[in-house]
Amino acid sequence: MADFIPLFMFACVCLVLMVGYPVAYSLAGTALIFAGVGTLTGYFDPSFLSALPSRVFGIINNQTLIAVPLFVFMGCMLEKSKVAEELLESMARLFGKMRGGLGLSVTLVGMLLAASTGIVGATVVTMGLLSLPTMLRRGYSPSLATGTICATGSLGQIIPPSIALVLLGDVLSSAYQQAQLKMGIFSPKTVSVGDLFVGAIIPGLLLVAAYSIYILFIAWRKPDIAPGLTDEDIREYDEREHTSLWMNLIPPLLLIGAVLGSILAGAATPTEAAAVGAVGAVVLAILKRQLSINTLSEVVRNTTEVTCMVFLILIGASIFSLIFRGFGGEELIHSIFSSMPGGVFTAVLVVMIVIFLLGFILDFIEITFVIVPMVGPVLLAMGLDPVWLGIMIAVNLQTSFLTPPFGFALFYLRGVAPPEVKTSDIYRGVIPFIVIQLLLLGALALWPELATWLPEQLYG
């Protein structure tokens, strides 16, 4: 029974979280209670806790994680400078007369906004407020409109520069080194956040292309649920919009290109590129005359709140993983995976199912900091590619966030959708997009090169 204490500890954390306690305190508090009881009963060696100060200092001193507040600042500043609103109107003028053109515009703007903000909740809420009333007013069916917004909003999970990929890259880097040391490789290879960014490009573009094809196909089959805009609608956009499409499109594209391009070219680390993005977002807000003291204050406050949440959860997860390891949790997981029939395939399948289900109750930050450190070293020691594993986890979480009845993206959109949109409309609307993402997961499982080919070409 004592061998299964790590699993009991994990189950207790899940129960405490479901009750509604804050994540960081739940992780640290549950782990410390188990450590205290384990010390009194002789099942836990308290000397493990002596490593805690160095772990916390390592988090504070981690250069990669500095990218998190910088990317959050960049996304918040772009949101406040009305980049998405102007882009959506410009795209609507360009594609609006096509059947499904407005849905296509929402998909493309959602992709750019995902690349700008990297935060699923912010993208879904922003696109819901900006585009859902317009799509409904123009005759789109509520299910297609809400499904499109939820799906494109969740692209922030996979489209770089994604905060989820920054955190995953940092955790997988540590897990990869642990796995190699256990395999007797004492000059371990490394995997970086930049590797994950590059690996996510092809899967992310495939998702955007698949969403676009589906919307255009539905508009062709059922023109009444995705009609084109009328000449009067276009004139209305023209009267409101005095700048050209390219004037609205080029600045954010240049900013995203500078951030991603500097990483891909090896000219900057993700942290340095994030600094470029943060400064560029401020310049863009100044050029659009949207920067004021109140705006800057709001952006800084939002950035501070998100950053504090991320780092507090990371500290709590670090305490949890240390005590989990002290109880022999890593060896337990390794023995469970090793004894499974089907070897690596079954182990990956089980992990993906667990992560998918946990995505209903935990945010990507908690899953990244709690689950990945537990299973990552074991899976990577079985010979898996860290970039492929990271992309699989990201797409899996993205699918979980879309899946009824508990998907986070559905809750975000429900909170800003008008009353006439039923929850059942949202649930029906996301099902085709969930199928698309499951097909992408299957394709990644069959052809890992979709995630690994581009990093190998660029970085060898």
Give 107-143 as a DSSP string.
HHHHHHHHHHH--HHHHHHHHHHHHHHHHHHTT--HH
Quick one: pLDDT band at residue 374, thresholds 50, 70, 90?
A: confident
CA-CA distance, 83 to 77, in Å (whole number)?
A: 9
Quote the pLDDT of residue 52. Answer: 83
Average confidence (pLDDT) over 201-219: 92
Q: Taking the chain, what is the end-to-end CA distance rounded to the nearest angstrom?
A: 47
Average confidence (pLDDT) over 177-183: 77
Quote the pLDDT of residue 291. Answer: 81
> Do 410 and 427 contact (CB within 8 A), yes or no?
yes
3-state SS record for 194-226: HHHHHHHHHHHHHHHHHHHHHHHHHHHHCHHHC
Q: How many CB atoms lie within 10 A of CB 405?
A: 9
Phi, psi of 377 (to 5 degrees): -60, -35
Closest CA to 14 of 366, 356, 399, 452: 366
CA-CA distance, 218 to 224, in Å (whole number)?
A: 10
Helix/strand/coil for 259:
helix
> Do 98 and 210 contact (CB within 8 A), yes or no?
no
CA-CA distance, 85 to 79, in Å (whole number)?
A: 9
Structure confidence by residue, pLDDT tens digits, 391-426: 999 999 888 888 887 777 887 788 778 888 888 888
- In the chain, the amino acid numbered 323 is I
The residue with tokens 């699989």 is 392
CA-CA distance, 280 to 259, in Å (whole number)?
A: 9
Average confidence (pLDDT) over 184-196: 76
> In this model, does residue 329 exceed pLDDT 70?
yes
Quote the pLDDT of residue 450. Answer: 92
Q: How many CB atoms lie within 10 A of CB 108?
A: 20
Average confidence (pLDDT) over 81-94: 74
Spell out the residues 6+ positions from residue 279 whose beta carbon is closer than 8 angstroms to its own: none
Quote the pLDDT of residue 15. Answer: 84
Percentage of the chain exceeding pLDDT 90: 12
CA-CA distance, 251 to 248, in Å (whole number)?
A: 7
Quote the pLDDT of residue 96. Answer: 67
Comparison of pLDDT for 141 and 236, the residue scoring more: 141
Give me the chain's average pLDDT, please.
82
**97 HSE (CA, 13 A, CB side):** 6
> Do 144 and 103 contact (CB within 8 A), yes or no?
yes
Quote the pLDDT of residue 444. Answer: 94
Number of H helices, E strands in the chain: 21, 0
Q: Say which range, 135-144, 250-259, 278-287, 417-426, has the weakest mean pLDDT.
A: 250-259
> Do 281 and 81 contact (CB within 8 A), yes or no?
yes
Quote the pLDDT of residue 392. Answer: 93
CA-CA distance, 358 to 401, in Å (whole number)?
A: 10
Comparison of pLDDT for 59 and 424, the residue scoring more: 424
> In this model, does residue 161 exceed pLDDT 90?
no
Percentage of the chain exceeding pLDDT 70: 92
Average confidence (pLDDT) over 421-433: 89
Quick one: pLDDT band at residue 207, thresholds 50, 70, 90?
A: very high
> In this model, does residue 209 exceed pLDDT 90?
yes
Quote the pLDDT of residue 318. Answer: 84
Quick one: pLDDT band at residue 202, thresholds 50, 70, 90?
A: very high
- In the chain, the amino acid numbered 119 is I
Spell out the residues 6+ positions from residue 71 whose beta carbon is closer than 8 angstroms to its own: 118, 161, 163, 166, 274, 277, 278
The residue with tokens 């405490």 is 16
CA-CA distance, 219 to 386, in Å (whole number)?
A: 39
Average confidence (pLDDT) over 222-233: 76
The sign of the torsion formed by the CA atoms of 405, 407, 410, 415 equals: positive
Quote the pLDDT of residue 222. Answer: 86
> In this model, does residue 281 exceed pLDDT 70?
yes
